[in-house]
Amino acid sequence: DSGVTQTPKHLITATGQRVTLRCSPRSGDLSVYWYQQSLDQGLQFLIQYYNGEERAKGNILERFSAQQFPDLHSELNLSSLELGDSALYFCASSVGGHSNQPQHFGDGTRLSIL
């Protein structure tokens, strides 16, 4: 058990819809990362937050947005969903945001677009 909690575990929705994925980091961790894993793209870094502030941005689409709240939990919002957005979405957390600190991953949210 990594201590990172992601909800929901599974989500099925239709094209054009909007969903929100939630992540609770490990106790004491200030940094949260979001990743997308699809069969043809592997693990893609989306975005990182540190103590409520955006720290780094990766291959995140404009239709996607994220935020980290004062209690340090984070949400990833996906809108105008397309079939290609079907993937596993992972959240990870670390104590700080620096490169010498390991990331601890949740079990992911499996998003299926019909």
Partner 1 sequence: DAKTTQPNSMESNEEEPVHLPCNHSTISGTDYIHWYRQLPSQGPEYVIHGLTSNVNNRMASLAIAEDRKSSTLILHRATLRDAAVYYCILRDNTGGFKTIFGAGTRLFVKA
Give Cα separations from 35 to 14, 62, 91 (angstroms).
21, 15, 6
Q: Is 102 in the site for partner 1 (CB under 8 A)?
A: yes
Q: Is 97 in the site for partner 1 (CB under 8 A)?
A: yes
CB of 101 to partner 1, least distance (A): 9
Q: Is 48 in the site for partner 1 (CB under 8 A)?
A: yes
CB of 3 to partner 1, least distance (A): 12
**Closest Cα partner for 68 from 107, 6, 23?**
23
**Closest Cα partner for 56 from 87, 19, 94, 88?**
94
- SS (HEC) of 34-75: EEEEECCCEEEEEEEEECCEEEEECCCCCCEEEEECCCCCEE
- Listed ranges 19-27, 64-72, 75-83, 90-98: which one lies at the site for partner 1 (CB under 8 A): 90-98
- Based on CB atoms, which residue is closest to partner 1, 25 or 97? 97
Q: Is 63 in the site for partner 1 (CB under 8 A)?
A: no
Residues at the contact surface with partner 1, assessed by CB under 8 A: 2, 4, 33, 35, 42-45, 48, 55-58, 90, 92, 97-100, 102-108
